[in-house]
Chains A and B, each alone.
Chain A
Amino acid sequence: METVTTPVPSQEAVHPALLKPLADADVPVLRDAYRQMLFIRRTEEAAAKAYGQGKIGGFLHLVIGQESICVGAALALRPADYMVTSYREHGHFMAKAGSSLASGKAVLSELWAKDTGCARGLGGSMHMFSAEHRFLGGYGIVGAQAPLAAGVAFGSKYQNLPEVTLCFLGDGAVNQGAFFEGLSLAGLWKLPVVFIVENNQYSMGTPLERTLAHPDITLRASGFAMQRDRFVSDDVLEVRDRISAAVERARTEFVPSLLEIETYRYRGHSMSDPGNYRTKEEIERWKKRDSIELARTRLLKVLPEAELVAIDDQVRDWVAEAVRFADESPPAQESSIWTTVYAQPGTDPRRM
């Protein structure tokens, strides 16, 4: 089986995305993608700051650096499509909701453990859900979401609904048994699901070369009658296009795909990880490929700078408003301890 090669842009040359012409129809799309990516990044930066102030407990895994995958993927979906993710999912959650102001409020309020959070303070950073936006959860056991996502796709197919499920995993998940079982059943039963491995080079602190016997993760799809694709995350429009191809293949032909998107997280694995296993130079090298900067540079060629400054201002205001909203929201409600464990009316966890 051949390896899919990905063109990795050299550091000195002009980024290939900047040389590509920007179609007229894509200008408003890229403009909005820029806004979304920036809002996700600034929201997470606000979360990082709040973590330092003790407003957030537990684990906090930031997606900063990988926003083009969240947004590019959401742009490839219809509202009825589903997302299932790992625990690094604030950005995916927001993008699935169009990175609205409300989505920023829902994320920060959840991190602040407030009743207005997307899971009313019961889920936290790793377990965000939205029935309205068909966001089926962040999952904290690495790889466990793969069979679950295949099951969501099974549900769509069983009910003859033209829905596709995107399942996001990190490169650390691809050595888990659950990952293989999810792929195996998706391939066997031709389920409308796309598995997206966000390869950010490290499973926690361990680099790829110490976790992967073969560097091409998409080869894992080849035993399961799936399609595969492998590319870089730099250009959000390319991310959208490559994911769209897989999504439509799933929707119309019931062919599942495994995609590997090369990317990089600028922060540590979580807030408690200083990331000492990486050099400053390595991080700076990746930042030169930053998706948000790249989108901005491209937009500046076709839009007046004032328009982008207006977006930057709006994002700054939205983040401030979301922080204020989270600060002022009521805390998680005690009654929810008892009312959310069981769905069946009349079942009380205190009477087990």
Chain B
Amino acid sequence: MPKMSFREALNQAMSEEMQRDPNVLLMGEEVGYYNGAYKVSQGMLARFGEKRVIDTPIAECGFVGIGVGAAMVGLRPIVELMTFNFSLVAIDQIINSAAKIHQMSAGQFKVPMVIRGAGGAAHQLGAQHSNSFEAVYCNTPGLKVVMPSTPADAKGLLKTSIRDDDPVVFIEAELLYGETGEVPEGEYLIPLGKGDIKRPGKDCTIVAYSKMVGLALQAAKELEKEGIDVEIVDPRTLRPLDEDLIFSSVRKTNRLVILQEATPHSSFGGEIAYRVQKHCFDDLDAPIERVASEDVPVPYALNLEAIVLPDVARVVAAVKRTLE
């Protein structure tokens, strides 16, 4: 299996789908001549031309709305947001139009589009460019929400998302773009709503997604030195959620740590905690733990940012608390 970076896997997924279906197109800021702000669309303009790889002005509300309308009449637009921080100026198009049109029209119109781009904190980007908004989109019926953690998952899930008949919010952790991994060639599709065990273990379950999977794996190594064997469950798609995979893991380990980069209040981790206590109440041997960012906007200073964002030590400590 060839090794490639996360960004190359995304590029391959989009390119293969554009090759396969002439109604798939990519639009967004800098996706064409600049080859992508994060080089995800490198070479795609040269390959597919200006008609299908479309540079937009900085007008997220406008071009996300264009994607919605185009999807209603037969296209499958991939709309790239340079980062999901900017999705807020397009959020009405996403939540009130894209997510609701199929229902409001009683199924007469569908909106098969992918809204994708970078999300989460990177290095010292400050409060406005470090947001994790997945809970907002997970709280919206009509949407699907995907957050891959590996290049292979990124490819398989993006290809499925492009073929899906519903609007998909596809959030890529900015710091993962350069990560490499083995990626299956050609027709590789991962169904939405199917999670993955990233590390099997028996003592405690960690549910983590996107770049937090990497943090969980680091924590697992630390814990292994002390004889603690954690299982890491990566739901990969947050909506629909593979809750059965989480339940079966918790039933085995009887302990759960939820790891997320988003701030804790009203967040996705709370949903997992609700479902696990509801369905695995008698299986839990300890209160559910959650490791999240501190409940503050992400500050600029490196030393402060490091305190605010989740780190290995906090994950290790949380796992140990469940074992006390």
Q: Does A303 reach chain B (CB closer than 8 Å)?
A: no
B89-97, B148-156, B260-268 - interface stretch: B89-97
Q: Does A148 reach chain B (CB closer than 8 Å)?
A: yes
Contact between B102 and A181 (Cβ–Cβ < 8 Å)?
no
Contact between A148 and B102 (Cβ–Cβ < 8 Å)?
no
Contact between A130 and B69 (Cβ–Cβ < 8 Å)?
no
- Bound together, the chains give a CA A153 to CA B111 distance in angstroms of 15
Interface size on A, residues (CB 8 A): 50
Contacts of B75 in A (CB 8 A): 154-155, 158-159
Interface residues of B in 20-52 (CB under 8 A from A): 23, 25, 51
Contact between B62 and A184 (Cβ–Cβ < 8 Å)?
yes
Q: Does B72 reach chain A (CB closer than 8 Å)?
A: yes
> Binary interface profile of A, 142-159, with partner B (CB < 8 Å = 1, else 0)?
001011111111111011
Among candidates A119, A144, A177, residue contacting B96 with C-beta atoms closer than 8 Å = A144
Q: Does A141 reach chain B (CB closer than 8 Å)?
A: yes
Q: Does A188 reach chain B (CB closer than 8 Å)?
A: yes
Contact between A137 and B65 (Cβ–Cβ < 8 Å)?
no
- Bound together, the chains give a CA A251 to CA B231 distance in angstroms of 60
Q: Does B141 reach chain A (CB closer than 8 Å)?
A: yes
- Bound together, the chains give a CA A147 to CA B62 distance in angstroms of 5
Contacts of A48 in B (CB 8 A): none
* Most A Cβ at <10 Å: residue of B67, B69, B92, B101: B69
Among candidates A131, A341, A352, residue contacting B109 with C-beta atoms closer than 8 Å = A131
- Bound together, the chains give a CA A156 to CA B70 distance in angstroms of 8
Contact between B59 and A185 (Cβ–Cβ < 8 Å)?
yes
Distance between B172 CB and nearest chain A CB, rounded to angstroms? 21
Contact between B97 and A131 (Cβ–Cβ < 8 Å)?
no
Contact between B106 and A147 (Cβ–Cβ < 8 Å)?
no
Contact between B92 and A341 (Cβ–Cβ < 8 Å)?
no
Contact between B106 and A123 (Cβ–Cβ < 8 Å)?
yes
Q: Does B126 reach chain A (CB closer than 8 Å)?
A: no
Known interface pairs A155-B75, A340-B102; A150-B165 also in contact (CB < 8 Å): no
Among candidates B51, B72, B89, B92, residue contacting A136 with C-beta atoms closer than 8 Å = B72
Contacts of A69 in B (CB 8 A): none
Known interface pairs A131-B108, A342-B166; A178-B96 also in contact (CB < 8 Å): no
Contact between A153 and B69 (Cβ–Cβ < 8 Å)?
yes
Distance between A176 CB and nearest chain B CB, rounded to angstroms? 9
Contacts of A344 in B (CB 8 A): 164-166
Interface residues of B in 98-121 (CB under 8 A from A): 101-112
Contact between A151 and B68 (Cβ–Cβ < 8 Å)?
yes
Contact between B240 and A122 (Cβ–Cβ < 8 Å)?
no
Q: Does A170 reach chain B (CB closer than 8 Å)?
A: no
Contact between A119 and B108 (Cβ–Cβ < 8 Å)?
yes
Contacts of A140 in B (CB 8 A): 96
Contact between A349 and B141 (Cβ–Cβ < 8 Å)?
yes
Distance between A153 CB and nearest chain B CB, rounded to angstroms? 7
Q: Does B6 reach chain A (CB closer than 8 Å)?
A: no
Contact between A178 and B70 (Cβ–Cβ < 8 Å)?
no
Q: Does B84 reach chain A (CB closer than 8 Å)?
A: no
Contacts of B68 in A (CB 8 A): 147-148, 151
Contact between B141 and A151 (Cβ–Cβ < 8 Å)?
no
Q: Which residue on B lies nearest to A126, using beta carbons?
A: B104
Q: Which residue on B lies nearest to A147, using beta carbons?
A: B65
Contacts of B218 in A (CB 8 A): none
Among candidates A82, A152, A159, A181, residue contacting B59 with C-beta atoms closer than 8 Å = A181
Q: Does A265 reach chain B (CB closer than 8 Å)?
A: no
Among candidates A123, A155, A343, residue contacting B166 with C-beta atoms closer than 8 Å = A343
- Bound together, the chains give a CA A109 to CA B96 distance in angstroms of 24
Q: Which residue on B lies nearest to A332, using beta carbons?
A: B106
- Bound together, the chains give a CA A177 to CA B241 distance in angstroms of 35
Contact between A144 and B106 (Cβ–Cβ < 8 Å)?
no
Among candidates A122, A147, A158, residue contacting B93 with C-beta atoms closer than 8 Å = A147
Contact between A123 and B104 (Cβ–Cβ < 8 Å)?
yes
- Bound together, the chains give a CA A127 to CA B109 distance in angstroms of 12
Distance between A167 CB and nearest chain B CB, rounded to angstroms? 9
> Binary interface profile of B, 56-89, with partner A (CB < 8 Å = 1, else 0)?
1101011111111111111100000000000001
* Most B Cβ at <10 Å: residue of A129, A156, A339: A129
Known interface pairs A148-B93, A158-B75; A352-B63 also in contact (CB < 8 Å): no
Q: Does A347 reach chain B (CB closer than 8 Å)?
A: yes
Q: Does A93 reach chain B (CB closer than 8 Å)?
A: no
Q: Does B142 reach chain A (CB closer than 8 Å)?
A: yes
Q: Does B198 reach chain A (CB closer than 8 Å)?
A: no
Contacts of A60 in B (CB 8 A): none
Binding site for A on B (CB under 8 A): 23, 25, 51, 56-57, 59, 61-75, 89, 92-93, 96-97, 101-112, 141-142, 144, 164-166, 193, 239-241
20 A-B interface contacts by CB (under 8 A): A123-B105, A123-B106, A129-B106, A131-B109, A136-B69, A137-B104, A144-B93, A147-B68, A150-B65, A150-B66, A151-B68, A153-B69, A155-B73, A155-B75, A182-B62, A184-B57, A185-B62, A339-B107, A342-B165, A352-B241
Other 17 A-B pairs with CB < 8 A, given A121-B106, A147-B61:
A119-B105, A122-B106, A129-B104, A136-B109, A148-B68, A152-B70, A153-B69, A155-B70, A155-B72, A158-B23, A159-B23, A182-B62, A184-B57, A185-B57, A342-B165, A343-B107, A347-B166
Binding site for B on A (CB under 8 A): 82, 84, 119-123, 127, 129-131, 136-137, 139-141, 144, 146-156, 158-159, 165, 177-178, 181-182, 184-185, 188, 336, 339-345, 347, 349, 351-352
